[in-house]
Chain A
Amino acid sequence: MYTQAKRQRNSIEPPAGVRLIRYVDALREAFEQEMERDSKVFLFGLDVDDHKGIQGSTVGLQEKFGKERVFCTPLSEDAMTGVAIGAAMAGYRPIHVHIRMDFMLLCMNQLVNMGAKSHYMYNGQVNVPMVIRAMIGRSWGQGGQHSQALHALFMHIPGLKVVAPSNANDAKGCMIAAIRDNNPVIFIEHRLLYAIDGYVPYQSYDVPLGKARVLQEGEDITIVAVSHMVMEALRARKHLETVGIQAEIIDPISLWPLDIHTISQSVQKTGRLLVVDNAWLTCGASSEIITQVYEQCSANYHTIPQMARLGFAFTTCPTTKPLENVFYPNSRTIAAKAYQMIKGQDHHWEAPMHAQTEIDAFKGPF
C-alpha cells in the first residue's frame, strides 16, 4: 500500500510516482483504471454521461468505454438498484451513482432485502459485487433532503460494507478496493471534499476496506472523525496545538467493517476518545465506535477512557446559513470539546475564528 497520508501532507516535494490531484479526479482515475482492467465493470446512474459528468468524476468515461459500460438511467432508483443486483449476480460489477445520498432512501428495499442478503440467503450460490456511490451535500442551501449522511442505516445491515474516505489518496484506493470486493459496498463521498487536492499515485492500488488510518499522531486525546469531519478535526488539531495539546486524528475510512483495533490502541495510549461524526449521533457510527471501545476495555479490565462525541444537531438540516452554522460541528467546537475533556468540565476555551475553508468557498448550486 502507498505511504501514510500524513507524510504526503507534510512533505514539500511530492514522492515519486504521485501528483497532486483533486478528490473527484482521483475517483475518476479509479473508474478508468478498473474499467480498463476488468470488462465486467460498468457504471450507471442519472447524469453519468452528461457534459458535467457527476462533478467531473465520470467525464470522458463513456467516450472511452462506450455506451454499454457507461450509461444514464431513468429516475428509477429502486429498480435501478435491482438491475445492479441482477447484473452483479450474473457476474458483472456495476457501479451505481446517486448524486445525493438522500435518494438512496428510494432503494432501501433492494439494498436491504436483496443486495445485503442474497449471498447469505442463497447460501453462497450468488455474489453481489456492486458499488453504490452516494454523495453527501452541504451548504449553500442544500437543506433537509440534500445533506443527509445515512451511513448508520447501512452499517446496521449484515451483508453491506460502508466506506467514507476523506482524502484523494484514499478515495482512489478505496474505490478500487470496493469495485474488486465481492459484496455490495456503499461508497460515501462528501461534496465538499471533491475539490480538495491530495497526492495520489498514478498507478493502481487498493486501500483495504476495514483498515483505519492514523492521520496525525498525538498523546493527549484520540479524535476519530468521519468523512468531511476529518477536515474539521485536522483544523481542530492545529487549534489545540496552540494551547499545547497534541491530538491523535484517526480516519476510520471504512465504517463497516470497522477497524476498532486501531482506534482502541490509540485510546489506550491517550486515555481519551472524541468521536466526531458527519451525521446524527443517535444510533449512529459514534454510538457504535464508543460502545465497541467500551466493550473492549471492559473485557480486558482496562480503565474505561473518557469518551464523548459530536455530530449533527438532532434536527433536520436547515438551509439558512446562521442555523446551518450551528447544525454542524466545526474545528472550534471540536477543539473546545477536546480542551474541556483534557482540562476539566469547568475549563472553557474557544479557538480564534478559523480561516476560509472549503465550506465558505462552496457556492453551489449543485
Chain B
Amino acid sequence: MKIWIEDPMHTPELVARLYKKMSLIRRFELRLADIYHTDAIKSPVHLSVGQESVAVGVCDPLEKTDIISNTYRCHATYLAKGGDLHAMMAELYGKQTGCAGGKAGSMHLVDIKNGVLGASAVVGTTIPIAAGYALAMQREAKITGYQRVVVSMFGDGGTEEGCFYETINFAALHKLPIIFVCENNRLAIHTPIEKRWATEKLCERIATYDMKTHKIDDGDVFKIRDTIVRVINHIRKEGGGPVFLECATYRALEHVGPRDDHGDSYRDQDDYQRWQEQDQIIRLGKMLDDSTRRMIDDEVTADIQAAEAFAANSPYPEEEELYTHVYASETTKK
C-alpha cells in the first residue's frame, strides 16, 4: 500500500482528498438508508454504495467547467463533481431549495453551475446528450482556445441501448472531446450480465470504432484517476478524443431502495467478499494517520448533519410552482 504514497502523483494530500470525497458519498448514502423508513425522503433512491471509487476517480481531475453526464444512480457522481450537497439533500426532501426546486428528486439531480448535467431515469438516454454537449464544447474551443471535457457515465445496462452505439459511432466520427465511462457492476436491476451479453468483450467492441479504450477491473481509485488524468491531457492538450473507459465495480445494496439484499437469491457471495476486501474507502483510510482520518470523518459528519438540517428546515414549493418552467419564456434577442 505504501507504494501509492511514495508515488509523487499520490501525495498524502491527494489520499486525504479522495478519502474524504468517497467517505462523504458513502456516509451520506448510508445516512439516507438509515432515515429512509421515516419518509423524510420522498423519492426512489438508487444508491451508489460500493461504486464510489469510480465516481471520485473520474471526477477528481476534472475542472469545475468540465461536464459530467449521469445516470439515475447519480448521487456519487453529483457529489464527486462538486454538486451542492445541501441542494441535493433538499431535493431528496422535495423542498423548494433543492437543486431542481423539488421537481427532479433523486433520479434527475442537476447542478449546471458545477458542471453536472441533469440525469435521466431512462437507461442510456443521457449518452447522446453528453455527446451533443461535447459537440458544442468542440465548437466553443475553436473560439476560446480552451477545450472543456465532457464525461458521459452509464452502466453496463446502458451499453445495451441502441443510442449507445449510435453515439459511440457519432463521437468517433467527429472526434468529440468526450470520455465515455461504463460503470460495470454486472447487474441490471437483478439480471446478471451473463444473461444479457453475448460476450464480455466490451472494450474490444468499442475499439472497432477506432476509439481508444481502457479497462480497470478492480475499482482502484488511483488507477481510475491516473487514467483520467492522462485522457484529459490527451483531449485538452492534444485535441484527442473520444476515449472509452470500462470500470468494474460493485453495487453493494439493492437496485432501488436502502436495503442490503445479499440475502436474496441472485447475489454471488464470493464476489461480495472479493469487493469488500478491495474496498477503496477502507484502503485509503488505512493509508492516513489516525488523527487525519478522524478529522476528515468529523468534517464529513458535520457536512451531512448540516445538509440534513438545511433540507429539514427548508420550505416546500408553493403550489404556483407547478406551472413554472413548462416552457422557457424568453426568446433569443432579435
Q: Bound state CA distance, A76 and B128, in angstroms?
A: 10
Q: Does A181 contact B (CB under 8 A)?
A: yes
A74-B169, A109-B125, A125-B100 known; A90-B108 Cβ under 8 A: no
- Partner among A68, A85, A158 whose Cβ is within 8 Å of the Cβ of B139: A68
Q: Does B136 contact A (CB under 8 A)?
A: yes
Q: Bound state CA distance, A94 and B129, in angstroms?
A: 13
Report the contact-size class of chain A (Cβ under 8 Å from the partner). Answer: 35 or more
Q: Which residues does chain B contribute within 8 Å of A78, judged by CB atoms?
A: 128, 162-163, 166
Contact with B along A139-169 (1 / 0, CB 8 A): 0000000000000000000110100000000
- Partner among A87, A109, A118, A127 whose Cβ is within 8 Å of the Cβ of B135: A87
Q: Is the CB of B166 within 8 A of A85?
A: no
Q: Is the CB of B125 within 8 A of A83?
A: no
Q: Bound state CA distance, A230 and B103, in angstroms?
A: 41
A79-B128, A89-B117 known; A121-B100 Cβ under 8 A: yes
Which of B12-20, B198-206, B319-327 participates in binding chain A? Answer: B319-327
Q: Is the CB of B128 within 8 A of A82?
A: yes
Q: Which of B91-109 contact A (CB under 8 A)?
A: 99-101, 103-104, 108
Q: Is the CB of B332 within 8 A of A93?
A: yes
Least CB separation from A86: chain B residue: B132
Q: Which residues does chain B contribute within 8 Å of A80, judged by CB atoms?
A: 128, 166, 170
Q: Bound state CA distance, A92 and B129, in angstroms?
A: 13
Contact with B along A88-113 (1 / 0, CB 8 A): 11111110000000000000011001
- Partner among A74, A86, A93, A159 whose Cβ is within 8 Å of the Cβ of B327: A159
Q: Is the CB of B328 within 8 A of A83?
A: no
Q: Is the CB of B128 within 8 A of A122?
A: no
Q: Does A17 contact B (CB under 8 A)?
A: no
- Partner among A82, A125, A180 whose Cβ is within 8 Å of the Cβ of B331: A180
Q: Is the CB of B169 within 8 A of A81?
A: no
Least CB separation from B109: chain A residue: A122
Q: Which residues does chain A contribute within 8 Å of B162, judged by CB atoms?
A: 78-79
A80-B170, A92-B139, A126-B112 known; A86-B328 Cβ under 8 A: no
Q: Bound state CA distance, A157 and B127, in angstroms?
A: 22
Q: Is the CB of A125 within 8 A of B118?
A: yes
Q: Is the CB of A119 within 8 A of B136?
A: no
Tell me the minimal C-beta distance from A89 to chain B in angstroms. Answer: 6
Q: Does A292 contact B (CB under 8 A)?
A: no
Q: Does A18 contact B (CB under 8 A)?
A: no
Q: Is the CB of B128 within 8 A of A74?
A: no
Q: Does B330 contact A (CB under 8 A)?
A: yes
Q: Is the CB of A182 within 8 A of B328?
A: yes
A88-B132, A89-B129 known; A129-B328 Cβ under 8 A: yes
Q: Is the CB of A83 within 8 A of B170?
A: yes
Q: Is the CB of B128 within 8 A of A83?
A: yes
Q: Is the CB of B120 within 8 A of A114?
A: yes
Q: Bound state CA distance, A84 and B166, in angstroms?
A: 14
Q: Bound state CA distance, A38 and B332, in angstroms?
A: 10
Q: Does A183 contact B (CB under 8 A)?
A: yes
Q: Is the CB of B163 within 8 A of A86?
A: no
| Most A C-beta atoms less than 10 A away, residue of B104, B108, B128, B162 | B128
Tell me the minimal C-beta distance from B120 to chain A in angstroms. Answer: 6
Q: Is the CB of B127 within 8 A of A82?
A: yes
- Partner among A83, A92, A128 whose Cβ is within 8 Å of the Cβ of B131: A83
Tell me the minimal C-beta distance from B70 to chain A in angstroms. Answer: 12
Q: Bound state CA distance, A93 and B136, in angstroms?
A: 10
Q: Which residues does chain B contribute within 8 Å of A161, judged by CB atoms?
A: 327
Q: Is the CB of A82 within 8 A of B125?
A: yes
Q: Bound state CA distance, A37 and B151, in angstroms?
A: 32
Least CB separation from B169: chain A residue: A74
Tell me the minimal C-beta distance from A234 to chain B in angstroms. Answer: 31
Contact with A along B122-155 (1 / 0, CB 8 A): 1001111111111111011000000000000000
Q: Which residues does chain A contribute within 8 Å of B166, judged by CB atoms?
A: 74, 76, 78-80
Q: Does A262 contact B (CB under 8 A)?
A: no
Q: Which residues does chain B contribute within 8 Å of A114, judged by CB atoms?
A: 120, 125-126, 129
Q: Bound state CA distance, A121 and B103, in angstroms?
A: 6
Q: Bound state CA distance, A73 and B135, in angstroms?
A: 13
Q: Does B37 contact A (CB under 8 A)?
A: no
Q: Bound state CA distance, A91 and B332, in angstroms?
A: 11
Q: Bound state CA distance, A125 and B332, in angstroms?
A: 16
Q: Does B173 contact A (CB under 8 A)?
A: yes
Least CB separation from B108: chain A residue: A121
Q: Is the CB of A182 within 8 A of B133?
A: no
Q: Does B329 contact A (CB under 8 A)?
A: yes
Tell me the minimal C-beta distance from B50 to chain A in angstroms. Answer: 27
Tell me the minimal C-beta distance from B178 to chain A in angstroms. Answer: 10
Q: Does A124 contact B (CB under 8 A)?
A: yes
Q: Does B110 contact A (CB under 8 A)?
A: yes
Q: Bound state CA distance, A79 and B128, in angstroms?
A: 5
Tell me the minimal C-beta distance from A169 to chain B in angstroms. Answer: 18
Q: Which residues does chain A contribute within 8 Å of B324, judged by CB atoms?
A: 124
- Smallest CB-CB A-B distances: 6 pairs: A86-B132, A82-B128, A79-B166, A90-B136, A76-B166, A182-B328
Given contacts A126-B118, A181-B331, A182-B331, 12 further A-B contacts (CB under 8 A): A73-B170, A76-B166, A76-B170, A79-B167, A80-B166, A82-B127, A86-B131, A90-B140, A94-B132, A122-B108, A123-B103, A123-B104
24 A–B contacts, CB within 8 A, in A order = A78-B163, A78-B166, A79-B127, A82-B125, A83-B167, A85-B129, A86-B131, A86-B132, A89-B117, A90-B132, A90-B133, A94-B132, A119-B326, A119-B327, A120-B325, A121-B100, A121-B110, A122-B104, A124-B325, A125-B118, A180-B332, A180-B334, A181-B331, A182-B327
A-side residues, CB < 8 A to B, are 38, 68, 73-74, 76, 78-94, 109-110, 113-114, 118-129, 158-159, 161, 177, 180-183, 206
